[in-house]
Amino acid sequence: MIEIYEKKWTIYILECGDKTLYCGITNNLDNRMRQHNGEIKGGAKYTRSRQPFRIAYTEEVATRSEALKREHVIKKMTRSDKAALVRLT
């Protein structure tokens, strides 16, 4: 029997060194954090200039489509709504 592995998608919020919040999605959180830190190519310019940062919130979903939809909802939230979401975890 062949086992099919499905990658989970993660929506994450980073709290940057200047206290701003950055939201993104990935299917490999460790690798994505290395990109944001500038260790490997591909990180967001926004986070590279606002280090250090910490992962303040994560949420897993099954598909990229779900992740993109949830990211869109979070990005439309006010800062206080995002802060409340972070505090819930």
**Domain for residue 70, yes or no?**
yes
pLDDT in the model for residue 3? 56
Query: What pTM did the predictor assign?
Result: 0.85
Instruction: List Cβ neighbours of 46 (8 Å cut-off, separation of 6 or more).
Output: 16, 22
Domain hosting residue 63, numbered range: 9-87
User: What pLDDT band is residue 40 in, cutting at 50, 70 and 90?
Assistant: confident
Average pLDDT over residues 32-49: 83
When divided into structural domains, the chain yields a total of 1
CA 73 – CA 26 distance, rounded (Å): 16
pLDDT in the model for residue 4? 55
Query: What is the Cα 12 distance to its own chain's centre?
Result: 2
**Domain for residue 75, yes or no?**
yes
How far from 26 is each of 2, 9, 33, 78, CA to CA, in Å? 26, 6, 10, 22
**Domain for residue 33, yes or no?**
yes
CA 58 – CA 78 distance, rounded (Å): 18
